[in-house]
Amino acid sequence: MKIAIVSFLILIGVFGVYRYLKASNTRIIVDKATIDSNAKVLDLCIKKLNSEEQLCISDFKGKKVLIVNVASQCGFTYQYKDLEKLYETYKDKLVIIGFPCNQFGSQEPGTEAEIATFCSSKYDVTFPITTKVMVKGENQHPIYKWLTSKKLNGVGDYSVSWNFNKFLLDENGKLIGYFSSRVNPLDKDITGLIQ
């Protein structure tokens, strides 16, 4: 009986190593976009909200970039106000990019036109907003794949756990900070990295 249990545990271990090696392949296929382990976030682009125009992270080289997954019907939606204030205060050295996402409690159900109207009419948002994206799972957008994978970003593995998670990049596209939803955009931990 002990031999059978030991054999079973070894088999599970071998299968686990196989899954790990398969998952650690240097090429990652996401949403029909291929990112290799040498990818830089500066190389990645996404469509602007309600537009065919592309927004590339490289457009903002020389400024810090705060990437935030946003939603219109969340308990943290009030952070739009503080994000706009942060953007207005530091716009000479900071760009904020909002990524609408409906993956958490279905709190961003609107069309792109509805999201654009909400952002401008309710919070006077002037920072760039992208097309609606998936920030986790099988169809995770390549930008979020880079942000959440140590293999790609070179810093750490992160999980986007809810709306209004924040990732801060330095002027050269290096990841320098991750902040949960509960960290206000005007928190000194964020502003200290911007100043």
d(CA 114, CA 7): 58
Per annotation, catalytic residue among 56, 74, 101, 119: 74
* Residue 26, phi then psi, degrees to nearest 5: -75, -10
What is the three-class DSSP state of 82? helix
Residue 74 bears catalytic tag: yes
What is the three-class DSSP state of 47? strand
> Shortest CA distance to 32 belongs to which of 138, 132, 111, 135?
138
d(CA 128, CA 87): 10
Q: How far apart are the first and last CA of the chain?
A: 64
CA count, 13 A, side-chain hemisphere, 40: 12
Residue in the structure block whose two tokens are 């794949």:
145
- Residue 27 pairs in a beta bridge with 36
Which sequence positions are flagged as catalytic? 74
